[in-house]
Amino acid sequence: MEREQHELYEYARKRLKQKKGLYFHFVLLFLVSLFLFVATKLFNFGIDSNWYMYAITAWLFIFLLHFIKVFITDRFMNKNWERDQIDRLVALQAKKIAELQSNIEEEPSK
């Protein structure tokens, strides 16, 4: 397998693993939320307050952060983005070094 094909394969495998983890997280959130709701209402467990709502809300917030990471952040800031940023910074440094060298060469010797 060529290097580029291998990189594409690894990227696709990584994205698939991320999405699979996100879907598992969603199913787990749904099942545990359903269990907490049923346990509270059906068995009168902790009926004094709606403590389970706070737990579900906190977990939902964590799920949203996971969703943002998988579908927004990692989608745009992948290996290609990193490579482009590195190339841009290396070119900028090379330009500054060339300017400094041209300044040194232009200065008259004493």
In Å, what is the CA distance from 69 to each residue of 25, 62, 107?
13, 11, 51
Model confidence over 24-36: pLDDT tens digits?
A: 999 999 999 999 8
Residues 22 and 78: their CA atoms lie apart, in Å, by 18
Model confidence over 29-66: pLDDT tens digits?
A: 999 999 988 888 887 766 677 788 888 999 999 999 99
For residues 58 and 24, membership in a common domain is answered with: yes
What percent of the chain shows pLDDT beyond 90? 40
For residues 29 and 83, membership in a common domain is answered with: no
For residues 83 and 103, membership in a common domain is answered with: yes
Residues 104 and 35: their CA atoms lie apart, in Å, by 73
Model confidence over 78-90: pLDDT tens digits?
A: 777 888 888 899 9
Range of the domain at 29: 3-76
The count of domains in the chain is: 2
For residues 104 and 58, membership in a common domain is answered with: no
For the entire predicted model, the pTM comes to 0.65
